[in-house]
């Protein structure tokens, strides 16, 4: 088991390094001259532009800048924004809790919807309940999360003259009630969108398990259906769902960009959007790196959890 953990950890580190390379390169492929954008509206002479490029280190070879940046990343220094000159790490520390809370709550809602729905749908296969839940999941796949978010903004405003408090992010511990008001609609919007695919996956996985011989044996023994489903089938059905959970959490982190813009959360998604518009390379590199590392770590945890969920799995 320890060998497996070490091996997975090493692969994760390699993944992180590869990710840094891809992130560094992709950012520089975006069309548009970062120096020009930083200069702003000024009519700039070639000499001035050259000076700005030199100040921003855009005139150095990319590989030297990559290794320089990598070296700084290893010490926790992600550089400073081209615009605000503020350290990228400070911005990330400020914005990360917002995005994490949104992602976790969305994932929780997605799971709370998907798991019971998938189980019921599988247990009541071909019933009207199954059809209704499957219709719901198809609709959830078809309707984009930003559309749901816009509805969640518009309808309470029109019907009840109410909107989530717009005073900026209020941490959970500072004011739980305001935090709840701020997060419950965007979390539901994002969670609903992701619950759709999860529901289908849980259903499919559960159906596979319910067709197994040992389930038939359990039923033949006279066990109640609830006991069969929850004690015997569910745990095995959830193993592949855990994999999906890890992937979905990563996708949710990416999905926060639009939701944060609509609901005005100062999270990593918003900063990513601004950084792309402003060609703020250090900010973009830093944030994407954080997303990527988070995604890899989540999947590492997911991989390591298999051994607990399924005792048959041994890490040789």
Contact residues toward other proteins (CB under 8 A) are: 32-33, 36-37, 39-43, 48, 83-84, 124, 126-129, 131, 135, 150, 153-154, 156-158, 160-163, 165-169, 261-266, 270, 274, 276-279
Distance from C-alpha of 271 to C-alpha of 293, rounded to nearest angstrom = 17
C-alpha closest to that of 241 among 203, 195, 202: 202
Closer residue to other proteins in complex, CB, 260/303:
260
In Å, how far are 2, 82, 171, 191, 311 from 95, measured between CA atoms?
A: 35, 18, 11, 20, 39
The C-alpha atoms of residue 268 and residue 7 are separated, in whole angstroms, by 31
**What would the two tokens of residue 90 be?**
């400070």
Of 119, 295, 270, nearest to 198 by C-alpha is 119
Q: Which of 132, 145, 113 is nearest to 257 (CA)?
A: 145
Shortest distance (Å) from residue 135 CB to other proteins: 7
The dihedral built from the CA positions of residue 45, 51, 57 and 59, taken in this order, carries a sign that is: positive
Residues 194, 106: contact at Cβ < 8 Å? yes
Pick 241 or 275: Cβ nearer other proteins = 275
Between 137 and 299, CB nearer to other proteins: 137
State in angstroms the smallest separation of the CB of 177 from other proteins: 17
Judged by beta carbon, residue 8 or residue 124, the one nearer other proteins is 124
- Min dist CB 103 to other proteins, Å, is 19
* Distance between first and last Cα of the chain: 7
Helix (H, G, I), strand (E, B) or coil at 299: helix
Shortest distance, CB of residue 315 to other proteins, whole angstroms?
41
Tell me the closest approach of the beta carbon of residue 303 to other proteins, in angstroms. Answer: 36
Smallest gap from residue 62 Cβ to other proteins (A) = 21
Among residues 64 and 277, whose Cβ is nearest to other proteins?
277
CB 196 within 8 A of CB 140: yes
251-254 contact pairs (CB < 8 A, 24+): 251/194, 252/103, 252/106, 252/107, 252/110, 252/190, 252/194, 253/99, 253/103, 253/291, 253/294, 253/295, 254/291
For residues 81 and 299, which CB has a smaller minimum distance to other proteins in the complex? 81
Shortest distance, CB of residue 55 to other proteins, whole angstroms?
13
Closest separation in Å from C-beta 181 to other proteins? 12
Integer Cα distance of 260 and 257 in angstroms? 5
CB nearer other proteins, residue 249 or residue 258: 258
Which one, 63 or 159, has the nearer CB to other proteins? 159
Least distance from C-beta 106 to other proteins, angstroms? Answer: 18
Distance separating alpha carbons of residues 22 and 27, to the nearest angstrom: 8
Between 62 and 147, name the residue whose CB sits nearer to other proteins: 147
């Amino acid at each position: 088991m320890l060998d497996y953990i070490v091996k997975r950890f090493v692969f994760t580190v390699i993944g992180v390094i590869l990710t840094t390379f891809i992130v560094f390169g992709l950012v520089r492929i975006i069309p548009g001259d970062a120096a020009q954008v930083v200069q702003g509206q000024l009519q700039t002479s070639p000499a001035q532009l050259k000076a700005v490029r030199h100040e921003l280190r855009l005139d150095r070879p990319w590989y030297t800048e990559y290794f320089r940046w990598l070296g700084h990343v290893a010490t926790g220094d992600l550089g400073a924004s081209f615009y605000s000159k503020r350290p990228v790490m400070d911005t990330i520390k400020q914005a990360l809790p917002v995005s994490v809370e949104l992602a976790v709550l969305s994932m929780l809602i997605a799971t709370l919807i998907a798991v019971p729905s998938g189980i019921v749908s599988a247990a009541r296969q071909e019933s009207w309940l199954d059809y209704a839940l499957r219709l719901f999941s198809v609709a959830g796949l078809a309707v984009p999360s930003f559309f749901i978010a816009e509805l969640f903004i518009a309808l309470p405003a029109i019907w009840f003259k109410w909107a989530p408090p717009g005073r900026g992010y209020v941490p959970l511990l500072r004011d739980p009630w305001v935090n709840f008001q701020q997060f419950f609609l965007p979390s539901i919007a994002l969670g609903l969108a992701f619950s759709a695919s999860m529901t289908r996956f849980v259903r499919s996985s559960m159906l596979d398990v319910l067709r197994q011989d040992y389930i038939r044996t359990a039923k033949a023994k006279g066990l109640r259906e609830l006991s069969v489903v929850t004690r015997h089938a569910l745990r095995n059905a959830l193993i592949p769902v855990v994999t999906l959970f890890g992937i979905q959490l990563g996708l949710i982190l990416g999905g926060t960009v639009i939701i944060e813009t609509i609901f005005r959360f100062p999270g990593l998604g918003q900063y990513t959007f601004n950084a792309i518009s402003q060609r703020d390379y250090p900010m973009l590199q830093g944030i994407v790196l954080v997303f990527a590392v988070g995604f890899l770590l989540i999947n590492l945890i997911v991989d390591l959890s298999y051994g607990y969920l399924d005792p048959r799995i041994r890490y040789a």
